[in-house]
Structure 1
């Protein structure tokens, strides 16, 4: 067998060169990084190809096509990916064919309905090799994604390409993604890197551990919980207040008494909407126009276990409205502490989320709530915000239905959305 080497700025570029030189006759033996990216230096990768001597004349030394008949490089890449996909399909078909059809166990005297099929050792070995081959095909496919991806801030081993691609496409900050990827590379056992499924599972576990979550708790005897939702206009604060009120009133193990306070007197429609919910659920409700009225409103609802406060929606740049909310909090001279929940839609990009958080942070944010999870396909922005601010998530709103579409936040659900997409049944 003849050993040949090809180099390129990325593994996929080197693989393309090998493909154009030796065609399909060569066998990929090794991929390695021979020069790291540095100031003034491009990264350099090298792949090692093995090819039979008998194939060299028709492969490696094959004359090039005339220029007018050559296939563009982009089309060559598409052809390679098509061939890889066909190989994966054939591997899947082989796996189906290799299912045992006969009984090799010790149950020959049982009826056909109760037969227990046992695979022979040789068949198990064949299936194991097929699984490994399928994983290699998947790895090569992901290497081609790197060719059209943005330039990476840190070099990612090929076996990690799939989870890197999924995370980047989810909207996670590249800086945060590189940090998490380095943590994965440092702590993940080498044995686990041999299979893309175990790589992904380990990465999911690491993500779950770094997402802060505030577990739902109930009021202790003689105490009450006061929760204020703040955030930009149109994020669904009023609907979320209604969902929380219904949850605490009807869906918990104990039916708690709930009262509502409305600071959003700027929007008559929002006040009327919340009053309608209050009438339906038979809840007490108070409106506050000026900050000095805030304490009186809380005192009038002191018989309640939960007091939920709806605030006026505000642009992150409208400091006057944010200041008005701050004045209400500052005017609170009751014994009740207010838990401030910043409510944001999951459909905005990470940079906008961070700006919103910074502008509302003067209110003393305690937890985060994210709405409209059913209206986006990227959830890495949520991860990045919590990772950056270290503020825990308390609830997710996954639709418009009251109260069904409100779920207590879990790191498992967020990571599932990031890497596999939103699934309402797993909320």
Structure 2
């Protein structure tokens, strides 16, 4: 698919990031190239510049909220197997002088937007904004764009950095819910942001993740010391995390009303998982999990962002019986797949930092029962784990309904307070 209309919108999105009316891209800092404008920003040099994971490749000024500055960034990262890749994202920080100890960093790990590279959140027009939920009447976007409570974090003096993840924006098949790849991408975004001298970021980092990004955050809590030992991870806050891949994505019954739309959405997520795992693990075979109709859908997952992809599935596969024709029966899925699902399910190792998990009871995307299974595993270790449920909150409302809790919890982690636990 030609990489022209970023974020499934229009060529206006490709022109986002301070490139207006023929203006040249504006660098973010001395010594860091701005790179080309438009979609070409996301085309990394080939071969990649030598360096370490987390090294900046380019950084370009974009529109920011009031009293703040923002840049799109392209930086080095790695896949789960250590293969170097370029990853895009954005960094936003308060204007004015930083404290003497530098600014704390909040790393945002976004939720599912789909498989194609044009679905990168940073590629949308003016992406440095408070979260625009795709399902709200006010959103002009085809995906979720922005960061929950961005302006509140900035008002607190924090730097906010938001990765797109590998394969979204930059070339390559997005390794969706492959824990180590997402962990590397998020941690390296923090390292990259710290290299922008005007940002004045210190090494104290909190992670806030939602859905796909919530699961990524839980892995970050387990893996950060080995991959990024120079970062001080103070806490991980996870909103409706993809934390139990077996029951969540293997097609088991989810709570809540069953209708064609929710069935198609969860089928789209399942195909997205399979495509990501096929990209990450060469020994896996698509035909082991997908029937011929599902193999056709697998190609579509590389063309359309998640909600568009779900609509296409709903249009072509109208009911549950027909949805079953996409997938091989679970009893026939080989152990090679089950082993990879287990490896990418967090909670079987301790985290190095306190964890806050927030889950809506009316969520029909992330099964609340699967979140409870993660909590049981995580509570078997010594780190504090706080689990909060929000009655009636859905998958899309939880970032807003839980906002006061995670804002206060992250601020308390930066202040050095004792983390709560209700294990």
The TM-score with structure 2 as length reference comes to 0.22
The TM-score with structure 1 as length reference comes to 0.22
- Quick check: which has more Rg, 1 or 2? 1
